[in-house]
Amino acid sequence: MNAVLRLLAQRIALGAGSLLAVSVLIFLGTEILPGDVAQAILGQAATPEAVAAIRETLDLNQPAYIRYFDWLGGILQGDLGTSLANRRPIGEMIGERLQNTLFLAAVSAAIAVPLAVFLGLIAARFRNSWLDKSISIATLSTISMPEFFVGYVLIFIFAVTLRWAPSLASVYDSMSLGEKLYAIALPCATLTLVVVAHMMRLTRAAIINVMSSPYIEMAELKGVTRSRITLYHAFPNALSPIINVVVLNLAYLVVGVVLVEVVFVYPGMGQLMVDAVAKRDVPVVQACGLIFAAAYILLNMTADILSILSNPKLRHPRS
């Protein structure tokens, strides 16, 4: 048990260190952007005195390392800063958008994970059959297309041609759950198609790898049906890599929604970040980037921890 706790503590420490390193990269990335933030806020007609005054107000005259530690200290205290564009607290702005992003990711995951595991089981059970080949061709096709292209295709088919769903995914607090689900139908379908393909193929590969084990051959010699072997013997022993793949794809759902939200004008974190980049609202860009990084690192760490807990070989590594 002490070995497991030691491994978990190591993973948590590595996650915290990774997040700290990412925070430095995010801050440096926004620092080296071309142009002057104060000039961008005031416009080209601003006088030098006005530019100097706003630089003083925003502490832009301070050295970069001092501003970084001030920013990091505020984050550790729960203060994400203030937007330069509308002077609103960034925490309030992100709270509204983060809820929408998590809602879209949760609905997509609720559809994608069971569907991917089911298709992976079917493909592994009927390996090399026409069904397996059809599923593989379909998933390879979706993997080969970028998310924005899949989104535009779905908009053309289901919003423009068939008029079954709205092309713009606008959601409000006053909407009912059914109305929200209808509004996010196309962005949810886009994310599901992209994520299902990857999860299904790795699920299939993990089950096929287990199917080559000696105990599977023994079960076949005993007359156990192929379907029972796949479901009750191969699938439970392939859970460790499948869990890893599922959680990593959930990380993509939270972080990789930027393009999908922009395509469907969905009021989430991705759309907020893109708008902030266009307005040169650096504090909002930094906060959004750090939250995306934290979500990705946290879910990757979760995948690592679940793999350790579900696989005895990882809990007791050889020295």
From residue 254, how far is each of 22, 106, 197, 284 by CA, in Å? 17, 9, 17, 18
Query: What is the model's pLDDT at position 87?
Result: 79
Query: What is the model's pLDDT at position 15?
Result: 86
CATH fold of 101-315: MetI-like fold (1.10.3720)
Query: What is the model's pLDDT at position 65?
Result: 83
Query: What is the model's pLDDT at position 28?
Result: 87
- Share the mean pLDDT of the chain: 83
Query: What is the model's pLDDT at position 315?
Result: 59
Which residues of the chain, if any, have pLDDT below 70?
1, 34-46, 57-59, 310-319
Query: What is the model's pLDDT at position 210?
Result: 84
Which positions ≥6 away from 120 have C-beta within 8 Å?
A: 199, 200, 201, 202, 203, 204, 206, 207, 242
Query: What is the model's pLDDT at position 186?
Result: 92
Query: What is the model's pLDDT at position 156?
Result: 92
Query: What is the model's pLDDT at position 158?
Result: 92
Query: What is the model's pLDDT at position 211?
Result: 83
